[in-house]
Structure 1
């Protein structure tokens, strides 16, 4: 094994099929140029086509996602479940009408997923039938939405409906360190779900992901290289309990004391956004070695 400044292993892999709904922990995931396969491939929008998230609709945290069947072939399904709702089954390989939607400042090509999906989300997110209707959109894979090249240093890094980058990497020790601070303050502990990472790395020091250059993952098919490009600034979502959808300020209040990042004008950051710089179409698996060198 090659010697590096930091060496650990992938302790978990996560995809979030529908942006801002609950994610899935997977034993393995296919790496594409836009991140893990089917990560943020779907997104909930309002009647104007604007994306919505837990920031406005904390109940989205209660929508559970699962895949059924062969999602790499034909006939696989995305299955959505929520309290008080019948399960919604959507074919992974089927879309309906083309549409345009907006995620942050980007207007992108997408496909509407139909009236049944729209009714399901509206019924759950607007109990009692009052308020705005919502629809579900699927990213058009022919559309090329790029990460900010100011941060990628000119590298074209496409992504789907993520906030802006293909992958988010978090060290497990960063969560452990936060929990130690929460415990000392008499606050409830939290788990990794609060931070919605794609890769969690065990064996690194807390926040080593902030300090390293390219991350090398040793896969069965050869090395994968992920390049950290931008610290992940944090909105109120880490305050939302994924099991209850209730918000409490203890998480961000605690982070405010030690995670203000000068690179983002003092914003709270936790985890690093990464782009894929080598190894597209290789399989990442829990337990694979993750190593990097410091880049001060």
Structure 2
């Protein structure tokens, strides 16, 4: 039986994740507290910004130096990854000394903004969305899913990727599946006009699409150094390893890995946990699982782009 091997939340968008034993599915389906905070360039409205290059977010796509920050957290509660305390470590950079500092949130927000802005060399704001967080894809804002075996396969494609743990840090999934073969998660999507119903424990989800990757997985998660010829290698190996159950009309290109999901509102508030069984249900029309509220129509939607 395929099961949940790991649950990973990213309390601050583009910073380190934290493994949790269980998590509530919050409003719009994301793990409660996942990417509940994000950095933007000072003065930028996050609801008007784009997650792509030059869009106002200070994230792994636009700012390689963000990879140099290490983060650990105290979380709101066992099922809520909203950070109440964050400890950041930064390396020496451009005349700035290496340092470590702990901030309480939200009280120390201004001090945290100044400290990170000093490291980056320009002012930033730390913004918060306590309801649905800051996913890249507002149309498929549920937890992202990949298998342990897929992470190991990805790591084998690149000499510079040490193991499945580093692969997870590069790909940044929320749900890592165990006891299944590589690319098993490709069973969780169909063509563009359909969705695949599946369950994690007692929660229903719909698989939407294979995640379109960006520059983030090509970068060393500690230094930001980019792997040469990353996309070319990825596309070649992904095509060679494509299982019989995968494919479909989402693959206009092969730079896709991991699955984006949507969570129907009836499952908001349910708790998913490590070791929960994962079961595949029927494939349904996309019209049967369209978002039920207009909060999903923001400018962050990206045709299955990576959540980082």
Please point out which of 231, 238, 245 is paired with 2:210: 231
Please point out which of 106, 110, 117 is paired with 1:115: 110
Corresponding position of 1:38: 33
Corresponding position of 1:77: 84
Cα contact 1:227–1:276 (8 A) shared by 2: yes
SS at match of 2:233: helix
Corresponding position of 2:287: none
Kindly indicate whether residue 152 of structure 2 is the aligned counterpart of residue 176 of structure 1: yes
Cα separation, 2, equivalents of 1:187 and 1:241: 8
Residue 288 (structure 1) shift = 1.4
Cα separation, 1, equivalents of 2:75 and 2:20: 15
Greater strand share, structure number: 1
Residue 17 (structure 1) shift = 1.1
Cα contact 2:160–2:227 (8 A) shared by 1: no
Cα contact 2:212–2:256 (8 A) shared by 1: yes
Please point out which of 232, 237, 261 is paired with 1:274: 261
SS at match of 2:234: helix
Q: TM-score, normalised by structure 2?
A: 0.69
SS at match of 1:86: strand
Corresponding position of 1:242: 221
Cα separation, 2, equivalents of 1:228 and 1:216: 10
Cα contact 2:234–2:255 (8 A) shared by 1: yes
SS at match of 2:177: strand
Residue 78 (structure 1) shift = 2.7
Q: How many residues align?
A: 241
Q: TM-score, normalised by structure 1?
A: 0.72
**Cα deviation per residue 1:244-266 (whole Å; 9 max; x = unaligned)?**
33221354332211436752531
Corresponding position of 2:69: 63
**Cα deviation per residue 1:89-131 (whole Å; 9 max; x = unaligned)?**
132xx47xxxxxxxxxxxxxxxxx74312211111222xxxxx
Q: Which runs of 5+ in 2 are unaligned?
A: 45-55, 91-97, 189-195, 240-246, 285-308
Question: What is the root-mean-square deviation in Å for CA atoms of aligned residues?
Answer: 2.7
Cα contact 2:6–2:175 (8 A) shared by 1: yes
Corresponding position of 2:272: 284
**Cα deviation per residue 1:121-178 (whole Å; 9 max; x = unaligned)?**
111222xxxxx3212111253xxxxxxxxxxxxxxxxx42111123211111111222
